[in-house]
Structure 1
């Protein structure tokens, strides 16, 4: 058996202050570790980079240990007999925030943390396990212990690359290394700087650095470069971890909880019911980094367990765009996220981009996310969900078009693609300026996710078809070149059409060799600058401002490059007089809505339509109408609140 030992103990019982959830009752939290083993000779493990060079136990198997946490009904017989598995993001649990609209954090078990309580009211058993071997301990993050391979007993040495940006304005700063330096001779490493991503690399005379130890360098900031400058450090590294074990660890923990009665030590499966496994179906969610992990998980064939059984029945890659992950590599860095300004050239964003198998004339390769699973009938049903930021930063168009950008693709029958129009990466947060030129985008797409989870459950359970895909397309004219969107000329808004452009990359050299470009397509907009494609929130259909998936960096922070994962919120003028004085082409609020009741009636109709289409649950529809009824039309009306932990978590995950 792949899982030798799963040791869990209740740590919070009952959770949420003893709160009862519908007919399910109380929940409890269990935490512990799973010790797993892998046979490098098993064909299902053979693709894990360096697994064959990892240390082995007396049975010739490779061992690993991962943290496990389970939030389950106290009485399993009252649950829905389904696992909702969330792939943790850099060791952090996101589901309570993204799905329940509750507090974000690793221990959100208090009575005030629960948000809507959606997952618990549905009766899910929620499971998390660690998969990323380089997560730093602390903050309750979930950790994985993976072995370090060797080359016949000698350390493996190779070239590794680091990037540092948004480093502040102090004279010096410290850069952490992912892997220890193999040689502290500074002549064997290089450090360059550039103001923006597309600028040439430079080594000014006052750019100096030194090793502080094998895991850190100190950099002296050169004159003329602001906080947003990009520092690239290339050095000889050693002791890579077998990071690809993360895929097998997720597969094996889920497979054990789903199918087995006990581990090798005879310890019963904690999800058993009447002595047998109680789980009938498993849904998986991955948010951002962990969504890219899930796409990679399927692409590399890990949705088949070592007994030939399916791991996940339904999968939600959330806000991933067309990317995968930088995980199953020798000197992997799974935390990297390719954006236009940051981490732009790291692996994990190359072909294939979409689910069906296609041939890419630009790279000359053939492949697809479903390339392996379609051969053994282990492809899950997939709901691919993107926000509008993924169009700009995640090349979302490549999920639904061919790589020439000449025609739309027909997605496999078991795949749906949904685009949440007018949204940024992190949903439902109060507008702030930060390092961007415009206010951030507060639009909240989480109500759509809840409705679609219900639809996904029905789809995997009895074949009930979910709502059809709602994504931008070439045929409908909602996918267009970046300079042909029709974005209005709004005073104080600098629209440049900049996207996270993509080229074929050769990572055998460092920095990577840049090859042929891919076409760039983004969503068309209406006269207000609001996207016309995908699922449109009632507050986008009946707007009080312009909501975009992009924003630009402000002066002092790499000005005019894309501002990471942030969208824009550009409020309308309150009156016609203010609009005319400002030269704003967008109608003012008073010109749009005769009074608050006129505004509210339009919100009600837009909300009911989304409910009838299956994109809103009744309770979320009611809440949206309530927010519109009680909000001030001249202010931000979304009424969102932010937990003190969120700002730090967003910084860590950007």
Structure 2
């Protein structure tokens, strides 16, 4: 066997050189560093962990069946063997003693190149701008014995993030579309372009403005732009539009990146680590028998799209992930496998409303879509190759308002869908899109109400253990707890919100239309009915999993917030949700019952917390080990 030495970061590294694979596989793995993790900290019976940082190199034949799935790969440069080369950063936390571990990969799809799983599951309270695993929090994932893996799948990210290096397609141009909402009152604003402009002639680009996503695009007097350079434009803003106006710029772009290679990079790395890669390249971790994927937000959409586009089968047709956990994805997929893709964009009611990545199919049930006329499901491709994973999809209240969660559980005609046996759905009621454990509600510059601090961590820890038991032992997880059909869902304008501070808010929902993306801007077609959960007298969802602060509330936990006047007032405001404390005594300005009418005293409040915790444990939706954690972290009773 031949070896070559690479010098990376000042280190001499050995990597195996093998005959190049015909389809796509890991062609080499460069180990950059390998060292004890967390100063040898012991994580329960599993013991200590080590950290491995590496670069995985891949090749793919653009003429192969898998290569043909990647948009524009036929335009990418190839090596002397006619193969496209690309690579990904890799970070692994593995038990030092593999026999004490679960022999299971927990693969987190990096979110914009970052680690979010520690913020969702390990009680880490700070999510930085870099990729970091320096703070293990309470070590929940390691205590499960997982081999935890992250790798780059998104091209174009800086080196401080988990990223994929993909070839630039330099001899291809096409229209690319940007959207800017500056949320600032300024006469001139600057916008970065996702791809360099192929032509700096202003006549070959268009700039429009509209107050709200559903309004007509306009070019009013006073609206102009100029290229600062090929990557930047400067917009002179017209009078008559507030800080939340939407500016859309369509221009000829160059230097596209085949971002769809990210699906291949994930599939082939995980397949390699579980022992299904090419012979002769040493796998740097102990024997792996099972694999679980978790995607959070952007990466949850990636996980759904990964399965939908058929990448849960590796280059040799073997199953990649045994279990997939798609968290806070709603009904969306991704803007990844497209010409001039923009993986960071995703549709909301006001922002990026008609960007790609949200079209049929939405659910795991095979169907004929009456709106688009298409057929299929998220599981169509894996059903054909017998590689479908066990799936747990978990969403928060925000996903029903901003990510059309109803389309996951409900057919376009309002009929409740019955999920396949390998799928479970859970709604963490009242929670915002993402909030770390211990977060506090705070005011926002653009949103009307204080942010929602409710964290999905307790439920997600229980569901992670449930997925582990399902994959490793075949133990059935809890039944789905997710609103479906017209018995549990209503139109947004029929969700009867309470009177709060003298007003009765009526949030809009992020609607959905069939879109023709062959033209820019895309052309709208038929409209889907998007529903939201029925609410109680406090405005909170009746169904779903009610964590302790929701089950025994001192305020309304809402999955939506509204933009302030001057910032596209009345439109949905981001994904932070709202928290509105109950009045301590009755008030004509607030229709919600005061705290004094709900609980006799602090002792009564705490007794109900205990009962609610026991009920969640009985349902398998709270770990017994987390009981005291959630009770002690519950909001303090007023006056205590």
Task: Check whether TM > 0.5.
Answer: yes
Other structure's SS at 2:65 match: coil
Asked if the contact 2:431–2:559 (Cα under 8 Å) also holds between the matched residues in 1, the reply is yes
Give, in whole Å, the separation in 2 of the partners of 1:450 and 1:98.
8
Superposition deviation, residue 260 in structure 1: 4.5
Other structure's SS at 1:533 match: coil
For 1:150-188, what per-residue CA distance to the aligned partner results, in whole angstroms no more than 9, with x for missing partners? Answer: 6xxxx2111110001134223322111111111111011
TM-score norm. by structure 2 comes to 0.93
For 1:426-448, what per-residue CA distance to the aligned partner results, in whole angstroms no more than 9, with x for missing partners? Answer: 12431112121111111111111
Residue in structure 2 matched with residue 413 of structure 1 by the alignment? 421
For 1:60-96, what per-residue CA distance to the aligned partner results, in whole angstroms no more than 9, with x for missing partners? Answer: 2110011111111222222111100011111111111
Residue in structure 2 matched with residue 649 of structure 1 by the alignment? none
Superposition deviation, residue 589 in structure 1: 0.9
Task: List runs of 5+ in structure 1 lacking aligned partners.
Answer: 273-277, 638-654
Other structure's SS at 1:297 match: helix
For 1:515-546, what per-residue CA distance to the aligned partner results, in whole angstroms no more than 9, with x for missing partners? Answer: 11101210111111111111111211111011
Give, in whole Å, the separation in 2 of the partners of 1:215 and 1:109.
32
Other structure's SS at 2:596 match: helix
Superposition deviation, residue 490 in structure 1: 2.1
For 1:8-38, what per-residue CA distance to the aligned partner results, in whole angstroms no more than 9, with x for missing partners? Answer: 2336x33223321001112222112111001
Q: 1:523 aligns with which of 530, 533, 552?
A: 533
Residue in structure 2 matched with residue 583 of structure 1 by the alignment? 589
Give, in whole Å, the separation in 2 of the partners of 1:101 and 1:400.
30
1:45-444 map, 5 Å:
45-102=67-124, 103-105=126-128, 106=130, 108-110=132-134, 113-135=135-157, 137=158, 140-149=160-169, 155-260=171-276, 266-272=280-286, 278-405=287-414, 407-428=415-436, 429-434=439-444, 435-444=446-455
Give, in whole Å, the separation in 2 of the partners of 1:494 and 1:232.
33
Residue in structure 2 matched with residue 9 of structure 1 by the alignment? 32
Give, in whole Å, the separation in 1 of the partners of 2:480 and 2:161.
35
Superposition deviation, residue 559 in structure 1: 1.1
Does residue 1:472 correspond to 2:476, yes or no? Answer: no
Superposition deviation, residue 291 in structure 1: 0.7
Superposition deviation, residue 223 in structure 1: 2.0
Other structure's SS at 2:67 match: coil
Superposition deviation, residue 267 in structure 1: 4.6
Other structure's SS at 2:174 match: strand
Superposition deviation, residue 51 in structure 1: 1.5
Give, in whole Å, the separation in 1 of the partners of 2:131 and 2:332.
29
Superposition deviation, residue 53 in structure 1: 2.2
Residue in structure 2 matched with residue 646 of structure 1 by the alignment? none
Asked if the contact 2:507–2:570 (Cα under 8 Å) also holds between the matched residues in 1, the reply is no
Asked if the contact 1:56–1:62 (Cα under 8 Å) also holds between the matched residues in 2, the reply is yes
Other structure's SS at 2:603 match: helix
Superposition deviation, residue 556 in structure 1: 2.4
Other structure's SS at 2:46 match: coil
CA RMSD of aligned residues (A): 1.7
Give, in whole Å, the separation in 1 of the partners of 2:637 and 2:468.
37
1:411-560 map, 5 Å:
411-428=419-436, 429-434=439-444, 435-474=446-485, 477-560=487-570
Say if 1:556 and 1:509 are closer, same or farther in 2 by CA, change over 3 A: same
1:545-624 map, 5 Å:
545-575=555-585, 579-580=586-587, 582-624=588-630
Say if 1:260 and 1:300 are closer, same or farther in 2 by CA, change over 3 A: closer
Give, in whole Å, the separation in 2 of the partners of 1:335 and 1:583.
41
Give, in whole Å, the separation in 2 of the partners of 1:397 and 1:542.
26
Say if 1:109 and 1:133 are closer, same or farther in 2 by CA, change over 3 A: closer
Superposition deviation, residue 40 in structure 1: 2.0
Superposition deviation, residue 627 in structure 1: 2.5
For 1:238-263, what per-residue CA distance to the aligned partner results, in whole angstroms no more than 9, with x for missing partners? Answer: 221111111101101111111157x6
Say if 1:109 and 1:386 are closer, same or farther in 2 by CA, change over 3 A: closer
Give, in whole Å, the separation in 1 of the partners of 2:347 and 2:96.
41
Say if 1:215 and 1:492 are closer, same or farther in 2 by CA, change over 3 A: farther
Residue in structure 1 matched with residue 10 of structure 2 by the alignment? none
Say if 1:432 and 1:394 are closer, same or farther in 2 by CA, change over 3 A: same
Give, in whole Å, the separation in 2 of the partners of 1:339 and 1:500.
6
Other structure's SS at 2:36 match: coil
Superposition deviation, residue 319 in structure 1: 0.2
Superposition deviation, residue 303 in structure 1: 0.2
Asked if the contact 1:15–1:109 (Cα under 8 Å) also holds between the matched residues in 2, the reply is no
Asked if the contact 2:114–2:131 (Cα under 8 Å) also holds between the matched residues in 1, the reply is no
Other structure's SS at 2:485 match: coil
Asked if the contact 1:10–1:28 (Cα under 8 Å) also holds between the matched residues in 2, the reply is no
Superposition deviation, residue 586 in structure 1: 1.1
Deviates most, 541-550 or 218-227: 218-227
Superposition deviation, residue 618 in structure 1: 1.2
Give, in whole Å, the separation in 1 of the partners of 2:441 and 2:297.
21
Asked if the contact 1:108–1:114 (Cα under 8 Å) also holds between the matched residues in 2, the reply is no
Give, in whole Å, the separation in 2 of the partners of 1:269 and 1:472.
43
Residue in structure 2 matched with residue 634 of structure 1 by the alignment? 638
Other structure's SS at 1:23 match: helix
Asked if the contact 2:189–2:235 (Cα under 8 Å) also holds between the matched residues in 1, the reply is yes
TM-score norm. by structure 1 comes to 0.91
Other structure's SS at 1:372 match: helix
Asked if the contact 2:513–2:525 (Cα under 8 Å) also holds between the matched residues in 1, the reply is yes
Give, in whole Å, the separation in 2 of the partners of 1:538 and 1:487.
22
Superposition deviation, residue 143 in structure 1: 1.9
